[in-house]
Amino acid sequence: MFYKSTRCGVDKISFKDAIMMGLATDGGLIVPEFVPKLLPQNLKNDDFKSIAFEIFKLYIDDIKEKDIFDLIEKSYAVFDDIEVTPIRQFDSLYILELFHGPTYAFKDIALQFLGNLFEYILDERNQTLNVLGATSGDTGSAAIYGLKGKKNVKVFILYPKNGVSPTQELQMCDIEDKNVFPIAIYGTFDDCQNIIKEIFKDNAFKEKYHLGSINSINFARILAQIVYYYYAFLKIGKNVLFSVPTGNFGDIFAGYLAKLMGLPIEKLILATNENDVLYRFVRFGDYSKQNVKKTLSPSMDIQLASNFERYIYYLYDQDCNKVKNLMVELNKNSKLSFTDKLNQIQSDFSAYRTSDKEILETIKYFYEKYNYIIDPHTACGVKAALKEGKQTICLATAHPAKFSEAIENALGFKIDMPEKLAKLKTKKRNFEQENSIEAIKHFIELNANV
């Protein structure tokens, strides 16, 4: 399998090169040159690791099968549930628990794998890597837990200084490993993401410092996230909907790719919070940037979704020239219109937007009805599924204890902390920096592996 860029500027690169490249050198996103088919009835085993193995083999042909197997074993052995992503049923809703990894959010599923993959490739190539990423909370800690203590890797994570929860910040900063650099930026998540994008565009700098990325732009993350769509489908054994709380369009894009591969997903429900650019896109074909609003579900406080470009690429029949032109237009005008494609978009997705007030009501409703606590992100997905009114698998993207303030606000009592979260106390290592591309480049020059 070869990989290419959504903007035509990169073509015929191997899986390993695609993973090390992160964002494509032409500013586009990496996609496989074709979508392999995998019908769920052709899977012999329905456990998470076996499914992962069958899917990964279709996309990876430059790593020995035995090593792919070992990477999967190592990545998912650290999960605290033997099923990795267990499912619970509540009447017509199923909750797919994606938060059993070391940082209690679904991003562990991809980042444990990506961390081990990086270490594997670097060891083989005798190279070093400096990973650079932006986080609105969960990616950062998941990346740090995926990479801390790994050989030949340093990890620089930018986060908005007042834009993540106290627990999320402690998860990133209460860490001894010297290869970890959590950096608080005086700005928003979009500012952090913009700094990263600009630095990655500087190819000379990127090469000199062997920069790699863990943001949801890395294709390995999409790949790992395809697995639980198949897993859930096989467990439930019928054609259902999936409801996905969305920010960067990464998790839901993995579902879309699963559908292109042949998983019979009836519809993907796209669930946003009050940062509703993707909701407006699906409902009205209006993709226009507005200011980011702080909500109770901070990991979805995003106005431009980095994986959106991958979907656009398929929406326009893999026409990379069209994508390139659209992205130039988006950069210039901060908006795009897709009214000509609404029929197609609405056959892939339905979309709902959930307010903070509805998030709190939904947490309360679900707890009172089922004695089960959902986190504020999951609440957006559950609320969307309730509005759609059909049998739906709701992706539970974080453990509720990660957002204990919101839970207390909704339910009036404090939720018990899992042991690993309760133990977090002090910021052992963190760094504060101006909202400036130059400042961050300078920080990297001082601290990177070369």
Ligand X SMILES: *Cc1c(COP(=O)(O)O)cnc(C)c1O
> Active-site positions?
107
Output the smallest distance, CB 144 to ligand X, in A: 14
Question: Does the footprint of ligand X cover residue 138 (CB under 6 A)?
Answer: yes
For residues 6 and 21, the answer to whether their CB atoms sit within 8 Å is: no
- Site residues (CB under 6 A) for ligand X, limited to 250-269: 250-251
Question: Which lies closer to ligand X via its Cβ, residue 68 or residue 95?
Answer: 95
Which among 202-210, 239-247, 282-290, 326-334 is the span making contact with ligand X, rule CB under 6 A? 239-247
Angle, CA 71 vertex, CA 65 and CA 75 arms, to 5°: 150
Question: Does the footprint of ligand X cover residue 249 (CB under 6 A)?
Answer: yes
Beta partners for residue 337, in sequence order: 286
Beta partners for residue 89, in sequence order: 94
Which among 174-182, 195-203, 241-249, 429-437 is the span making contact with ligand X, rule CB under 6 A? 241-249
Which DSSP string corresponds to 97-159? E---STTSBTHHHHHHHHHHHHHHHHHHHT--EEEEEE-SSHHHHHHHHHHTT-TTEEEEEEE
Contacts of residue 324, Cβ cutoff 8 Å, sequence gap at least 6: 7, 8, 28
Angle, CA 103 vertex, CA 101 and CA 108 arms, to 5°: 50
> 103: number of CA atoms within 13 Å, CB side?
30
Question: Which lies closer to ligand X via its Cβ, residue 187 or residue 250?
Answer: 250
Question: Does the footprint of ligand X cover residue 95 (CB under 6 A)?
Answer: no
Question: Does the footprint of ligand X cover residue 141 (CB under 6 A)?
Answer: no
Structure tokens at 387: 């509005």
Question: Does the footprint of ligand X cover residue 104 (CB under 6 A)?
Answer: no
Q: Distance between CA atoms of 314 and 311, rounded to whole angstroms?
A: 5
Question: Does the footprint of ligand X cover residue 107 (CB under 6 A)?
Answer: yes
Question: Which lies closer to ligand X via its Cβ, residue 154 or residue 377?
Answer: 377
Helix (H, G, I), strand (E, B) or coil at 295: coil
Contacts of residue 266, Cβ cutoff 8 Å, sequence gap at least 6: 239, 240, 241, 390
The residue count for binding ligand X (CB under 6 A) is 16
Give residue for tokens 């939904």: 362
Question: Does the footprint of ligand X cover residue 300 (CB under 6 A)?
Answer: yes
Helix (H, G, I), strand (E, B) or coil at 350: strand
Helix (H, G, I), strand (E, B) or coil at 285: coil
Question: Does the footprint of ligand X cover residue 215 (CB under 6 A)?
Answer: no
Question: Which lies closer to ligand X via its Cβ, residue 249 or residue 256?
Answer: 249
Question: Which lies closer to ligand X via its Cβ, residue 59 or residue 403?
Answer: 403
Helix (H, G, I), strand (E, B) or coil at 267: coil
Structure tokens at 415: 């939720």
Output the smallest distance, CB 397 to ligand X, in A: 3
Question: Which lies closer to ligand X via its Cβ, residue 212 or residue 250?
Answer: 250
Question: Does the footprint of ligand X cover residue 182 (CB under 6 A)?
Answer: no
Binding mask 350-379 for ligand X (x = CB under 6 A): ---------------------------x--
Which among 73-81, 118-126, 243-251, 439-447 is the span making contact with ligand X, rule CB under 6 A? 243-251
Output the smallest distance, CB 42 to ligand X, in A: 27
Q: Nearest CA to 308 among 205, 436, 379, 216?
A: 216
Which among 83-91, 125-133, 240-248, 280-288 is the span making contact with ligand X, rule CB under 6 A? 240-248
Output the smallest distance, CB 45 to ligand X, in A: 27
Question: Which lies closer to ligand X via its Cβ, residue 4 or residue 377?
Answer: 377
Binding mask 375-404 for ligand X (x = CB under 6 A): --x-------------------xx------
Task: Please give the residue ranges that form the binding site for ligand X (CB under 6 A).
Answer: 105, 107, 138, 216, 245-251, 299-300, 377, 397-398
